[in-house]
Structure 1
């Protein structure tokens, strides 16, 4: 199964996924599914751009077009799952086109969209639930396996990238590098410092939520770093991960607690520019042999306790978390340098002759200032916003 996913480098593609919070412009509340200004109306409005609707029990719950999809997270967070494309230039055009289409329809409905990692204003109880059968199953199961699972479902938004591998050895090295550097990416993209209108003590509260959501589906996967890890060991793990549901004859069937064997999933969301930066970060590190080797050299001697300390400390401290004789900012600086060099060697140019390294500029600026997006929002909150969280919707929406 995993071996069948191998692709030669010439066939490697990049798929970007990102989520965003909808809100009504007049009262800032999250839109329900139905109604004249609901998520259903938004999806139906997007059909005019060539999207084909996918329905469940008669309700439009997704859109498809040219290998891409628009789907709904449990509380109506709107997700673009981009098509597998050749370059980050292509991904960024796709993201920009999607956000433009959404804005055209949303403006007509009196809706706006915000890119952050965690819903900054509304409580869990204020969040609607979309009419997808699997979400009812997840809603019932999540409280059994973690205190914050329902918050993960209803109040978080993320951005991630899907990449390819050439062989088992290539998969293993990419897996190890990406797991070890995931806390560094979390720190660079930290943008969820508010809960229900007030600072919550974290810079990436979304990342913290994943520490108390569902241990079966989350965690550091320490076995990936052990000698002998490969397809067989990973498949054994996947088969024993408990299922939430199975899908049969158009119906979601509750299978919570069962494993796949019984039956024979980033960073905080953010503004447009940082959506492209996430893909650039990982492509630069993982799609160039010299960069991948350098990234492995950077992380290969991390101990298990160091990897866990990074994972546990970054949600609260981000770049300022101490690490060895420096900080996460030092690690992030080295990682971004490696990614920049990798993208330059890839030399995928746009029509203006620019390579993909330009998409890392938001991260270079964050490292230069030493201030994450979360810290900038906190400064605004304590300064010119005078504690008014509503201003985030007016000033920082798409």
Structure 2
């Protein structure tokens, strides 16, 4: 989740609807300036007993973050409710390492030119955290959900927005706290050159997001037992908060663009306002009221550009628009799948021929079929039915072929002359076998681990 590092002082006040559209318009870039931003989360555990470290314990999350100063990272602090300054992130040349609600660590990577750079960035980060882990007896797992932890066994990190969210979540859904405390994801952020380009990429991204969910499905256990899902992380989003999640049917309507997304965001209830280094609880209140100076949490005040940017980060649809597009459907996973997710989406979206081919594949799907696919994929994975008949397995190979052609057309080579297509190999293996990572884990659970999920720590640790 986003880390707020700047004060809202001196922000321009929002004066018109144009100010609400401006962040999206500013995101427009010529293709030569498109970049790739990859985010990936991992679970942190103590090797001696597998517990999730708290923030303050010796060798805990704060110590892990501060140890990153040895690698050139700088702490980002926030005022806690008790007035204490807490380290909530680390900033460095490879982006930001942020603190997720239960101590999951997320690298929000720098905007990079190609996936060779993305994979190098990922490698540097994992080398650093593994070295820190050796120092403190800490391990890191790449998975979509804690395989064994109850909510009660997990700490809450001292970050202001998390307290507000954890109080609000149970009022609007049954699984929001699980989303916060027990899940990890991989995400890729991509650019667009115009409003029309954004709309086409948004539509393709939404329609094919269930395929990404299936290919990366990696959360089949809850509290030590199979949960009946392949991606329980994906299922969690279906019962988190209906006001800010889902497949966004309006994106597929004629005329969709920035203005329609602004209308959607104005209807998403607020979480907070950030003032003087602190988060003010505005959960459930209306940004439309804020624009009129009638926000109950800050009566008489008008929102600033930073307030709007904060609000844009509090919706969680399958694809999210800010000044770039975020692909949000994948479970957390191991190193090679961290590189595979940007390869999939860059291949599909950053070459116009590939983008058109991907759209041709899904443009005739109706909304009911898209929703059915989204609802069924957490349980069924590649066996989930697609609109018009057949399953995801039936189109997965064609989608990867399109992505591969898009990557080949980019011609981004590393120092030995390899292009980016090799990063799709883990996904091609999954499609060839027809078995998701979750199904492989379940095989181990029954055949190799004597139905004990602690075997997953060895399998999934970095």
Tell me the TM-score normalized by structure 1.
0.99
Name the counterpart of 2:262. Answer: 235
Matched, 1:290 2:353: yes
Matched, 1:132 2:159: yes
Out of 34, 39, 54, the position equivalent to 2:61 is 39
Name the counterpart of 2:338. Answer: 275
**Matches of 1:310 and 1:333, distance apart in 2:** 17
- Contact 2:333 2:460 (C-alpha < 8 Å) held by counterparts: no
Out of 377, 381, 393, the position equivalent to 1:314 is 377
Q: CA deviation at 1:228?
A: 1.0
- SS at 1:63's partner residue? strand
Deviations 1:320-361 (A, max 9, x none): 123344211112221111101100001100001011111000
Deviations 1:194-234 (A, max 9, x none): 00001000000000000000111101100000011111111
- Contact 1:184 1:331 (C-alpha < 8 Å) held by counterparts: no
- SS at 2:402's partner residue? helix
Name the counterpart of 2:194. Answer: 167
Tell me the TM-score normalized by structure 2.
0.85
Name the counterpart of 1:396. Answer: 460
How large is the RMSD of aligned CA atoms in angstroms?
0.9
**Matches of 2:135 and 2:289, distance apart in 1:** 48
Q: CA deviation at 1:67?
A: 5.8
- Contact 1:124 1:154 (C-alpha < 8 Å) held by counterparts: yes
Q: CA deviation at 1:259?
A: 2.9
Structure 2: 5+ residue runs without aligned partners? 1-21, 80-84, 291-302, 304-315, 317-327
Out of 88, 92, 98, the position equivalent to 1:71 is 98
Deviations 1:5-45 (A, max 9, x none): 10001110000000000000011011111121200010011
CA shift in 2, pair 1:69/1:223, >3 Å: same
**Matches of 1:344 and 1:259, distance apart in 2:** 46
Aligned positions, number: 398
Q: CA deviation at 1:109?
A: 0.3
- Contact 1:32 1:38 (C-alpha < 8 Å) held by counterparts: yes
Name the counterpart of 2:430. Answer: 366
Name the counterpart of 1:62. Answer: 89
Structure 1: 5+ residue runs without aligned partners? none
- Contact 1:31 1:128 (C-alpha < 8 Å) held by counterparts: yes
Name the counterpart of 2:320. Answer: none
- SS at 1:322's partner residue? coil
Out of 7, 11, 28, the position equivalent to 2:33 is 11
- SS at 1:261's partner residue? helix
Q: CA deviation at 1:298?
A: 0.6
Deviations 1:66-94 (A, max 9, x none): 26000011000000000000001101100
Matched, 1:385 2:449: yes
Out of 43, 55, 58, the position equivalent to 1:21 is 43
Out of 306, 319, 330, the position equivalent to 2:394 is 330
Name the counterpart of 1:341. Answer: 405
**Matches of 1:387 and 1:254, distance apart in 2:** 43
